[in-house]
Amino acid sequence: MGRVGSIVAKANQKISIKMAAGLLAGSTLISSLLGLYRDRILNSLYLPGPENVGYPVGIDAYTAAFTIPDFMFFILVSGALSVTFIPVFNQRLVTGNKKSAWELSTSLINLMALATLVTSVLIIIFADMLVGLVAPGLSESGHGLAVSMMRVIAVNPFLFAIATVLASMQQAVGRFAFFTMAPVIYNIGIITGALFFTNGLSIFGWQIIDGGIMGVALGVVFGSILQLLVSSLGLIGLGFDYRFKIYWRNKGFRRVLQLLPPRSLDQGIDYINGLVEMNLASRMVNGTMRIYQQASTLSMMPINLIGVAISTAAFPKMTERLSQGRPDLFRRELQSVLRVIIWLSLPVAMITFATRGYVVSFIKNGGEQTIANLLGILVVAILFRSIYYIAARSFYAQQDTKTPLYISIVAIGLNITLAIWFTMSLDFGVYGLALAQSIVAVVEILMLFAVMSRRIEGLFDRAFWQAVGRMVVATLFTGLVSYALVKLFPFQNTDNSVLQTLPKFGLITFLSMVAYTMFSRMLLLSEATPVIKTANRLLFGRINFTRK
């Protein structure tokens, strides 16, 4: 136990922003790879190729079953809680008022647990009606299966709510180890369900499930429980004083409750767009819901690796700067983080476009043309949605949750309008959904930047835009390199396994990123310097080949 306790204590040490960003990116990568493996298993079982007649209803039912539980989690908890809780929680810690901080934390845990428990029960009761609202195009058998799975997954908001409060506390104090492990464990739970529970599950002779895709739903719940347990380890040594009580008079708690509704509404409005997309996709050919969801998931991988990981790591420090009364340092760090995210997102979006056939093959053996085409459209969203997370957090750090909400209302309204117009009037089919999403991602960032430039004087100075311009030039040259490499190592119909596609994909990606780093260095972009120094140290030890 002593050795285990020592390991836990080391894992719970506070770390720097760079280390946190690296840890978050690494865990996100592992979680994403596990997610690819999870989707590959499901697609191989339930999503046959287009050469077959029709698609099974199970995979669309599984996709539909997630929508309402996820929606309720996003609107009640998710990012809404972390970005409103952390600034207020940090204020208490900076001033040494731990008693108020623990009262705030324990109040949120109890309130969120109560709210999501009631929500979960309501989802179970009204699942039949909710599935009809979300996916009216499902067949009768698909509808029944979605209802059954939704009732199983309905417990997720409750489990996620508690885990999210615990994770937010750890973020606020610079603890990221167990926070970053939680999503990995969650995916492992789903994979367990896909590999084992689909064959049926019985305990002491009592048959829990008969098998099939319902086993995956049970794996989702299993993963949620594991995630909560792992998140709890991050509290060890923190001194958290939990009480089974809600401190309604706690000023910090009341402040969070004031900030929470705009951010929750922002999250809810954003997710409503996903519900509309699922509604429209359910009216198309069987399998369209799953296909569009898979393309969106693939596009979110680089967004999570870059935009979410870096902004999540930087956010606590940004709030701390403002709590210290240093808006100058806040502006400098925000600009630096923005530049890093743009510098990384541009080549990743370009490489994703060039290698989209390879990327899709990782979740569907032999690839899937429609998913690849959708991913090609969504690369625009990869760039701008990555930027969105740090842009929105710049407002949350200032305890302003209303401005991003107002911008989201306009953006989501435009997205829904374009999605309906493109799919139903212009007959673009599922491609209309991806096109609408990419257009709105650009519009939303332009609106956020317009407000940020007025509120944070000097943020978007001449040097910033000149640097972005050089990044674009470096990306265009990188695109030529990626295109040439894809022509040299093309994705072929005979590439029917990961072992055949991964080496070529890895080589193309590696050489393209090396080229981008070199182009960036030639264009005097400072973001390339740490990468080159690290590469020199790893390859040549103490020999320094970089210019001073």
Q: Which residue has the tokens 């929680």?
A: 89
Q: Give me the DSSP letters along 448-501.
A: HHHHHHHHSTTTT-HHHHHHHHHHHHHHHHHHHHHHHHHHHS---TT--SHHHH
What does the pLDDT look like over 111-170, one tens digit per residue? 888 988 998 999 999 999 998 888 887 878 888 888 988 998 888 888 888 888 887 777
- Model confidence, pTM: 0.71
Listed ranges 42-51, 128-137, 360-369; the one with the highest mean pLDDT: 128-137
- Residue 388 has a pLDDT of 92
Average pLDDT over residues 2-22: 57
Long-range Cβ contact pairs of 8-15 (< 8 A, separation 24 or more): 8/233, 8/236, 8/237, 9/236, 9/237, 11/177, 11/178, 11/233, 12/170, 12/175, 12/177, 12/178, 12/233, 12/234, 12/236, 12/237, 12/238, 13/175, 14/173, 14/174, 14/175, 15/174, 15/175, 15/176
- Residue 205 has a pLDDT of 54
Average pLDDT over residues 105-110: 87
Q: By percentage, how much of the chain surpasses pLDDT 70?
A: 81
Q: Specify the amino acid at residue 493.
A: N
Q: How far is CA 71 from CA 271, 273, 319, in A?
A: 6, 11, 27
- Residue 320 has a pLDDT of 75
- Residue 511 has a pLDDT of 94
- Main-chain phi, psi angles of 174, to 5 degrees: 80, 20
Domain boundaries, the chain: 284-548
What does the pLDDT look like over 191-233, one tens digit per residue? 887 777 766 555 555 555 556 677 788 888 888 888 888 888 7
Lowest mean pLDDT among 48-62, 115-129, 301-315: 48-62
- In terms of Cα–Cα distance, which of 387, 389, 444 is closest to 415? 444
Provide the pLDDT confidence category of residue 516 given band limits of 50, 70 and 90: very high
Average pLDDT over residues 432-461: 92
- Measured from the Cβ of residue 125, the count of other Cβ atoms closer than 10 Å reads 12
What does the pLDDT look like over 474-493, one tens digit per residue? 999 999 999 999 998 887 76
199 vs 9 pLDDT, higher one? 199
